[in-house]
Structure 1
Amino acid sequence: MTDKKSQQKNDNNNIDPDKFREMVTELAYLKAEKRGFVAGHELEDWLEAEQEVSNQCHDGSQEV
């Protein structure tokens, strides 16, 4: 039996890392833009974008 974290790690191996990073970068930028580029939220934007892209990839709603 595998736990959720190890399953997610295995799923991430099927994603092209360059494409994944590109998608996260774009989404994090859009989040910052929406907030008016107020400083101090860069890590939050990045982590949220990373999670959202990861979810999209695992749900099959986004081909990478």
Structure 2
Amino acid sequence: MIDFNSEQESNKVVFDEGKFRKMVTERAYSKFRKRGGIGGHDMEDWLEAESEIKKQCFYWFHDE
């Protein structure tokens, strides 16, 4: 799991938690819309969206 509140030594990147939440919200809503707006999968959509955004952020900010 990625710690979004810590700084990376080399680039001093601090991830904005508010921006992260907004990105997850938008991705989860997109999943809801793709299902035709049928409810009942809120938690599943949120957790999938959160995982996807974390993976993207790890890729963007991972220092090799």
- TM-score normalised to the size of structure 2? 0.74
Alignment coverage as a number of residue pairs: 53
Identity of aligned residues (%): 51
Which structure 1 residue ranges, 5 or more long, are not aligned? none
| 1:40 CA displacement | 1.0
Matched letter for residue 60 of structure 2: G
- TM-score normalised to the size of structure 1? 0.74
1 or 2, which has the higher helix percentage? 1
| 1:37 CA displacement | 1.5
- What root-mean-square deviation, in Å, do the aligned CA atoms of Structure 1 and Structure 2 show? 1.4
Larger RCO, structure (CA 8 Å, separation 6 or more): 1
Any runs of at least 4 consecutive aligned residues in structure 1 with deviations exceeding 3 A, and if so which? none
Which structure 2 residue ranges, 5 or more long, are not aligned? 6-13
Match of 2:53 in 1: 53
| 1:38 CA displacement | 1.2
Task: Point out the structure with max Rg over C-alpha.
Answer: 2
